[in-house]
Amino acid sequence: MDKNSVSCEHLNLRQTAKFLKQHDRFVILTHTSVDGDALGSAYALYYGLREIGKSAMVLLADDIPPKYGYFATETVTFPTEGAVIVSVDLADKRLMGKYEEEFGDRVDLSIDHHISNTEYAARLLLDANAAAACEVVYELLEQMDVNINDMTAKALYTGLATDTGCFKYANVTAKTHLIAAQLYEYNIDAAEINRLMFDTKSKNLLDLERQVLQTAEYHFDNRCMLLAVTAEMQQQTGCSGTELDGIAVISRSLEGVLAGVTVKQTGEDVFKVSLRTYPPLSAAEICKRLGGGGHVAAAGATVHGTLSQVKESVLNAVAAVMEEADAGSSVN
Amino acid sequence: MDKNSVSCEHLNLRQTAKFLKQHDRFVILTHTSVDGDALGSAYALYYGLREIGKSAMVLLADDIPPKYGYFATETVTFPTEGAVIVSVDLADKRLMGKYEEEFGDRVDLSIDHHISNTEYAARLLLDANAAAACEVVYELLEQMDVNINDMTAKALYTGLATDTGCFKYANVTAKTHLIAAQLYEYNIDAAEINRLMFDTKSKNLLDLERQVLQTAEYHFDNRCMLLAVTAEMQQQTGCSGTELDGIAVISRSLEGVLAGVTVKQTGEDVFKVSLRTYPPLSAAEICKRLGGGGHVAAAGATVHGTLSQVKESVLNAVAAVMEEADAGSSVN
């Protein structure tokens, strides 16, 4: 529909519901490196629109990881010409992957929960207080008075659970739990979903974790834990990409730790550094010194050098930001 | 009050509220090896009774583990003579530890969620569908129209979260989430509670986990994972008791695993075997063959012998129950 929109109209739930009801064919897009909330919000919207007789398809730049197969499957396809383009959980059109060129400048509606949404779409339904895009989609389906079926409920629950570490993190609100309670009214088998999402590891990943724990270094009176994932470990175990996300969680699980560092080799003399911090440290500040960036509690940078050089650079950056924090606390 | 009660009167919420309001001095007991729900339900009741001007004390057979210090502290003490004795989260008087002799036969009221409650008390408020004793205490405080303060809310949330693996397990219901939503209205910092409860490990425990992962054995086409915790590992890292509970979780996290086995040395040639299973296997069935028992998904046994003898016994029991399950599924 719209093309190269220059302004982005902010819609509320009622206006968004009205917009969706006025049209009949929808293409749903989300971000690459799909996760539970990206797939959950895309498929919940897909099932919801079909419940009210609309045509809809989910268009993914990635293959669907098999573990999401209980709600996410290949959908019908149809020509996108004339269809309404909706994105979910997509803060920036650059995260569309291979679909950016075709759809980047013609998204009709973005449904999101990222405060960093770049307003690339003609219309935006944004709730930056929502823990997951699935919270926003749930409220939208409620507003549209759409029947929620078991598949919709599974998709929504998956997004809620995965974006909150199973209701563990600071983004959870009373509303998150209220929606979860509603979803328990359907046949979702939440315990099995949670087992798949949180408690299932491949033998190779368990082996990689064992190897990574052997690299553990403790610095600055145990306020910093450092783990290394070498190229050799990744080759030997066949674990890579998002499979390794859990390693950064280990690095910040040490009692009393303020900075959890994971140094992951991505090429010869190239390492991806992941920082997880607790107050008063800022992961973003540390990574800025390494040429990277991110959020206060989680940030990253790419650093060139040998493993020991990279470790030294990171520890220097951590030390500098720790000193600033110590100085700040003694001044105040 | 009562002594050697022979019959146990089942009360509903309204009757229990009335009983508590009729009395003025309360001693609150719970089970040994205290966990988040034992302490949470004990302290929530304690804070609640004090809000309505009652005298109350929590009497613990264990020291309070420091990580629960944000809501569980030493309470005032007073002579127990003439006080009403209330137990929470205590299925059997034999779990009272050092207080069994003094209070085992004079509990006036048991507030519980274990279907296995042995009716040792004169009165019983039981909700076997509640995920945590804290669910029952929350409903009781609501029924009594007691003001819930921030400490009460922290105690209740802790019990809810810890007994459900942070809302992950099959015992969670819509009600669990509804109560959690209510508790978010107070100043509880749930994310910090969850970090303390779920994402904080000592350096020694991380080291023990590393050593335990090195013992990993895979059997029966990876349908069984076996981990060993030797006495030497426990001595070297100083980790023991409930600190080791997380190891059993690792043993069942392998993709496709049906039986996760942890073999923990408790003496010379004595091992505590922990079984975690998924359908169609029954942990209780496997442990029965080893002289132990438990639930369908989690059970245990104490087995004598060297580590390799114990492993062999356990694997034989797993194999036998697997064969039965396979035979059962081919018949059906």
DSSP states of B126-153 as a string?
E-TT-SSHHHHHHHHHHHHTPPP-HHHH
DSSP H or E run through B44: helix B36-51
For the stretch B47-82, pLDDT in tens is 999 999 999 999 999 999 999 999 999 888 999 999
The radius of gyration computed from the CA coordinates of chain A, to the nearest angstrom, equals: 21
- How close does chain B come to A199, measured CA to CA in Å? 5
B2 has pLDDT over 50:
no
- Assess whether pLDDT exceeds 80 at residue B6: no
Distance from CA of A258 to the nearest CA of B (A): 12
Cross-chain Cβ contact B255/A200 below 8 Å: yes
Q: Whole-angstrom Cα distance, residue A205 to residue A236?
A: 11
Could you report the per-residue pLDDT of A31-84, keeping only the tens digit for each? 998 999 999 999 999 999 999 999 999 999 999 999 999 999 988 899 999 999
What letter does residue A279 receive in the DSSP assignment?
A: T
Q: Check if B209 contacts A (Cβ < 8 Å).
A: yes
Strand order of the sheet with strand A217-219? Answer: A217-219, A224-229, A259-267, A270-277, A298-304, A293-294
d(CA A178, CA A130): 12
pLDDT category of residue A3 using cuts at 50, 70 and 90? very low
User: In sequence order, what are the residues at sequence separation of 6 or more whose Cβ sits closer than 8 angstroms to the Cβ of residue B102?
Assistant: B80
Would you state the pLDDT for residue A332?
46
Test the A interface: residue of B135, B166, B176 with most A CBs within 10 Å: B166
- Residue A112 has which token pair? 């999101």
> Residue A2 above 80 pLDDT?
no
Residue at token pair 């046994």: B301
Distance CA A117, CA B112 (A): 48
On whether the CB atoms of residues A96 and A103 are closer than 8 A, the answer is yes
Q: How far is CA B202 from the centre of its chain?
A: 21
pLDDT (tens digit, 9 = 90+) per residue, A260-298? 999 999 999 999 999 999 999 999 999 999 999 888 888
CB contact under 8 A, A210 and B213: yes
User: Contact B177/A172, CB-based, under 8 Å?
Assistant: no
Provide the pLDDT for residue A6: 63
pLDDT in tens, A214-226: 999 999 999 999 9
What is the DSSP secondary structure assignment for residue A287, as one 8-state letter?
H
Mean pLDDT of B168-194: 97
Paired tokens of A75: 């959908």
Under 8 Å between Cβ of B262 and B298: no
What is the three-class DSSP state of B287? helix
Predicted ipTM? 0.90
Regarding predicted confidence, which is higher, B69 or A241? B69
pLDDT at residue A140, rounded to an integer: 98
The answer to whether B145 and B18 have CB atoms below 8 angstroms apart is no
If pLDDT is split at 50, 70 and 90, which confidence band does A23 have?
Answer: very high
3-state secondary structure of B321: helix
pLDDT at residue B242 tops 90: no
| Contact: B203, A218; criterion CB under 8 Å | yes
CA-nearest of A214, A222, A227, A221 to A273 is: A227
Stretch (H or E) spanning B218:
strand B217-219
Phi, psi (5° rounding) for residue A217?
-125, 145
A130-177 pLDDT per residue, tens: 999 999 999 999 999 999 999 999 999 999 999 999 999 999 999 999
pLDDT category at B246 given cuts 50, 70, 90 is confident
What is the distance in angstroms between the Cα of A24 and the nearest Cα belonging to chain B?
34
By DSSP bridging, strand A123-126 and strand A9-10 are parallel
pLDDT digits (tens, 9 = 90+) for B30-46: 999 899 999 999 999 99
Q: How far apart (Å, rounded) are the C-alpha atoms in residues A168 and A147? A: 29
**How many residues in total does chain A contain?**
332
What's the pLDDT score for residue A244?
A: 86
Banded model confidence at residue B332, pLDDT cuts 50, 70, 90: very low
| All residues at 6 or more sequence positions from A161 whose CB lies less than 8 Å from its CB, including other chains | A36, A167, A180, A190, A193, A194, A197, A198
Q: B73, B82, B72: which is closest to B36 by C-alpha?
A: B72
Res A97 pLDDT > 90: yes
Residue-level pLDDT at B330: 65
Backbone angles phi, psi at B70, to 5 degrees: -70, -15
Provide the pLDDT confidence category of residue B3 given band limits of 50, 70 and 90. very low
Q: Does B201 contact chain A (CB < 8 Å)?
A: yes
Which residues in chain B have their CB less than 8 angstroms from residue A185's CB? 174
Radius of gyration of chain B (CA): 21
pLDDT band at A330 (very low <50, low <70, confident <90, very high): low
CA-based torsion, A107, A111, A112, A117: positive or negative = positive
Return d(Cα A146, Cα A45) in angstroms, integer. Answer: 10
DSSP strand pairing (B84-88 vs A84-88): unpaired
Using DSSP bridges, classify how beta strands A293-294 and A298-304 pair: parallel, antiparallel or unpaired. Answer: antiparallel
**Alpha-carbon span A123 to A111, nearest angstrom:** 9
Nearest CA in chain A to B279: A192
Beta bridge partner(s), residue A302: A272
Average pLDDT value for residue range B88-116 = 96
Q: Do B178 and A178 touch (CB under 8 A)?
A: yes
What mean pLDDT is reported for chain B? Answer: 94
Q: Which amino acid is at B49?
A: L
Distances (CA, A) of B192 to A174, A274, B152, B157, B189: 16, 21, 16, 12, 6
Q: Which residue has the tokens 């599924």?
A: B329
Stretch 231-270 of chain A: residues touching chain B, C-beta under 8 Å:
249-250, 252-255
Per-residue exposure over A57-74, b if at least 16 CB sit within 10 Å of its own CB, e if not: bbbbbeebeeebebbbee
- CA distances to A197, A212, A262, A277, A292 from A257, rounded to whole Å, are 26, 18, 13, 8, 22
In 10 A of CB B12, how many CB atoms? Answer: 12
Cα-based torsion angle of the residue sequence A220, A256, A177, B168 in order, rounded to the nearest 10 degrees: 100
Partner-chain residue, chosen from A176, A202, A213, that has the shortest CB–CB distance to B255: A202
- Calculate ∠ Cα A266-A267-A271, nearest 5°: 50
* Chain A residues in contact with B238 (beta carbon < 8 A): none
Query: What percent of chain B is predicted at pLDDT more than 70?
Result: 97
The pLDDT, as a whole number, for residue B331 is 56
Q: What is the pLDDT of residue B174?
A: 98
* Residue of B90, B71, B92 whose CA lies nearest to B27: B90
Alpha-carbon distance A205 to nearest alpha carbon in chain B (angstroms): 9
